[in-house]
Amino acid sequence: MEEREKTYRVGLFVFVSLFILIFGHLWLSRFEMGRKGVVITVLFDDISGLKLGDPVYVFGVNKGKVISIRMLERQVEVKLWVSKDVDLREDTRVSIKDVAMISGTKCIILDPGISPRPLDPSKPIKGEPSWGLTTVEIGKLADQIGRMVDFVKKGFGEGGGLFDELRKTLVAIETILVENKKSIGKTIEESREDLEKLGNLVTRLDSLVQDLEKGKGSAGKFLKDEELYNNLNLAAKKLVELIDDIKKNPQKYIKIDVKVF
d(CA 221, CA 226): 10
Is the per-residue pLDDT at 61 higher than 90? yes
Instruction: Tell me: pLDDT of 54 over 80.
Output: yes
pTM of the prediction? Answer: 0.42
Tell me, rounded to whole angstroms, the distance of Cα 193 from its chain centroid: 49
- The alpha carbon dihedral of 94, 95, 96, 98 has a sign of negative
Of 23-37, 50-64, 190-204, the range with the lowest mean pLDDT is 23-37
Higher per-residue confidence, 62 vs 22? 62
Is 204:211 a contact under the CB 8 Å cutoff? Answer: no
Predicted confidence (pLDDT) per residue in 75-99, tens digit? 999 999 999 999 999 999 999 998 8
Look at residue 152 in the predicted model and tell me its pLDDT.
58
Inter-residue long-range contacts of 56-60, CB under 8 Å, 24+ positions, other chains counted: 56/80, 56/81, 56/82, 56/107, 56/108, 56/110, 57/107, 57/108, 57/109, 57/110, 58/82, 58/86, 58/110, 58/111, 58/112
Average pLDDT across the chain, whole number: 72
DSSP code, position 213? I
Q: Are 162 and 156 within 8 A, CB to CB?
A: yes
**pLDDT of the residue at 238:** 74
Q: Which of these ranges, 39-48, 109-118, 125-134, 177-186, has the smallest mean pLDDT? A: 177-186
User: Among the ranges 17-31, 66-80, 209-223, 245-259, which has the highest mean pLDDT value?
Assistant: 66-80
Q: What is the pLDDT of residue 219?
A: 41
Share of the chain above pLDDT 70, in %: 42
